[in-house]
Structure 1
């Protein structure tokens, strides 16, 4: 089966002890059944704290999955003080669970081909994108290019367009998706033509002009994004995860939810947006990769694609808000790359839900599962 990869995929290598946000800390580490059975006969390295009879004894069952039992400091028990993995040092990579062996890679299997991508919840992946400034996704063979794959290709091209801000591209993308959803019952040949028409240069230019005329009050965007960020962070703060990143920004978000000077805050928001614009190339790569890797599922429909686009939009809104609040806590000094990168990593780890959980979250948090364009525009801003 063909494996299709974006152009950055083979550039990745784990930076191990040099990683600033290790995947061995503050995260659920799954242990697959094959690895769990194999671990019954494997002794833990001697320097593992609380030495037990086998590697199996370091796992627990939680919510139907077997995961690593983390230490009180939320570390994997096999993470050494050197920030290297004791298991790898003792036995090599092959002893690791499937999750640890492939992260941050992900493979999606479709009929007739597989697609590889990298997840943005690894700092080293963001470092690759930041250096490249532009990423290229593989072409789907013509005979497999059905409507959903065509839509996804057009959307990634829209997001990588350097003539648009990421917000403009997101707003245009969501509008087109909603319009295509209204026409989804058309016959295939007609629907393909509709897709091409909506993504034509003329239509996209007209759409962009219309969107630029829409008034989107920046303070309303900031307020709603504050609510989204606080809601996403609730369970992580209860479990005392990502405290270094979440506590300062959520405390400020809670203060702003109670009272702030509107004129002063609007001025700060506009100044921040100018600072944040310096990272547009990175943000474009991030959003385009999210669309490439997460928009489609093997059995997914156009409705599922819209739901995933909403999740991507919400994820981006939370990232930008977290960076904004962190920048404010830092007295509005120059916005550095590490802050942007680290909040992308943390928020994408927090929003790495399974498909069913995404749907459940949206159903429980919003009046309608499928948003209207106005709400998407509210959290995206422009």
Structure 2
């Protein structure tokens, strides 16, 4: 079976103790059966506290999954004070579970090929995008497959620098809804929808849409709070979330005024300076997550909505962090941390995404107007 990956894929190197937000803290670390069996025969390194008889004694069951039981501070028990893995130091990389070995790599298996990508919930991946172009591969036969052709056209649209990342997503979502309304869309319909003439007319109409800045800012505020509530209740990502959500709640409880309006508009100009990085992030999400082995057109629409929610949470948390720090400019580190934390918080499976959208919205399939409200930048 053929395997494909973006050009940047092979440039990844774990930064280990230099990582600004380790993957060995504040989320589930699954342990596969083969690893658990090996761990039954291995004693924990002396650096691991509290000491138990075997490595397997550190495994617990959580939400029907066998995972490493984290310490009270939500750190992996094998993570040393120097932010290194005690298991690797003692036994080498071979002792790690599949999850620890593979992260942040992920593999998507289709009927005739496999695709490998890197997840943006690792800071080192964002660092690569800051310097490198992703270089997404062309998949043989994608122009004859409706869903893969849609993905290709959306990637091409996002790559156009004269179109803002938000405009590209707005146009793509409009086209997806249009195709969903047809009886049996075929690849030729996709090509027609993404023709230069159609795109020009669509983008012209999109740029005429004017939405109140206050409505977008407050809606994104609510989205962030909703995405973060469970993590805050569990005491996760407190260094990132606590002050951000406190300011978010204050904005939600108060009235939007001219000071906030001005601050939001200044932030959006700072945000715009990072269009290149945001564009790469969104393209990676489209390539990695838009199409799955069992996808249909409706699942693509739901995935686009999830990417919009993810984007809204990232932008809103970056705005709040930027406000708290009193930064004149939006620092790269502030943006990177927002991407890493929010993508860790939104790394849901397909079934969970559908359930979330069904529970959170009157209809899981949004109207285009709401999608536009979430993504709006306000007046350019």
SS at match of 2:323: helix
Matches within 5 A, 1:282-293: 282-293=277-288
Partner of 1:45: 45
Partner of 2:236: 241
Q: 1:184 to 1:245 in 2, by over 3 A?
A: farther
Distance 1:260 1:316 in 2: 24
1:352 aligns with 2:351: no
CA positional deviation for 1:321: 0.3
Partner of 1:156: 155
Distance 2:200 2:89 in 1: 55
CA positional deviation for 1:145: 4.4
Distance 1:261 1:147 in 2: 44
- Match among 262, 265, 268 for residue 263 of structure 2: 268
Partner of 2:299: 304
Partner of 1:172: 171
CA positional deviation for 1:80: 0.7
Q: How many residue pairs get matched?
A: 377
Partner of 1:336: 331
Partner of 2:104: 104
Q: 1:5 to 1:43 in 2, by over 3 A?
A: same
Distance 1:80 1:242 in 2: 19
Query: Where in structure 1 are there 5+ consecutive unaligned residues?
Result: none
Q: Is the 8 A contact 2:16 2:83 kept in 1?
A: yes
Partner of 1:326: 321
Query: Where in structure 2 are there 5+ consecutive unaligned residues?
Result: none
Of the structure 1 ranges 254-263 and 336-345, higher mean CA displacement relative to structure 2 is found in: 254-263
Q: Is the 8 A contact 2:143 2:187 kept in 1?
A: no
1:256 aligns with 2:256: no
CA positional deviation for 1:144: 7.8
Distance 1:223 1:152 in 2: 31
CA positional deviation for 1:156: 1.0
Partner of 1:18: 18
CA positional deviation for 1:35: 1.2
CA positional deviation for 1:47: 1.5
Distance 1:171 1:84 in 2: 43
Q: 1:78 to 1:262 in 2, by over 3 A?
A: same
CA positional deviation for 1:30: 0.8
1:204 aligns with 2:187: no
SS at match of 1:153: helix
Of the structure 1 ranges 280-289 and 175-184, higher mean CA displacement relative to structure 2 is found in: 175-184
Distance 2:35 2:237 in 1: 28
CA positional deviation for 1:332: 4.3
Distance 1:105 1:22 in 2: 15
1:53-111 C-alpha deviation (Å, 9 max, x unpaired): 11111011011101110011110000011111000111111111100000000000001
Partner of 2:214: 219
1:377 aligns with 2:377: no
Partner of 1:89: 89
Distance 1:346 1:181 in 2: 33
1:255-298 C-alpha deviation (Å, 9 max, x unpaired): 00011342222211111010111111100000010010000110
Distance 1:280 1:251 in 2: 28
Distance 2:149 2:335 in 1: 31
Distance 1:199 1:2 in 2: 28
Partner of 2:73: 73
Q: So what's the TM-score if we normalise by structure 1?
A: 0.97
Distance 2:143 2:150 in 1: 13
Q: So what's the TM-score if we normalise by structure 2?
A: 0.97
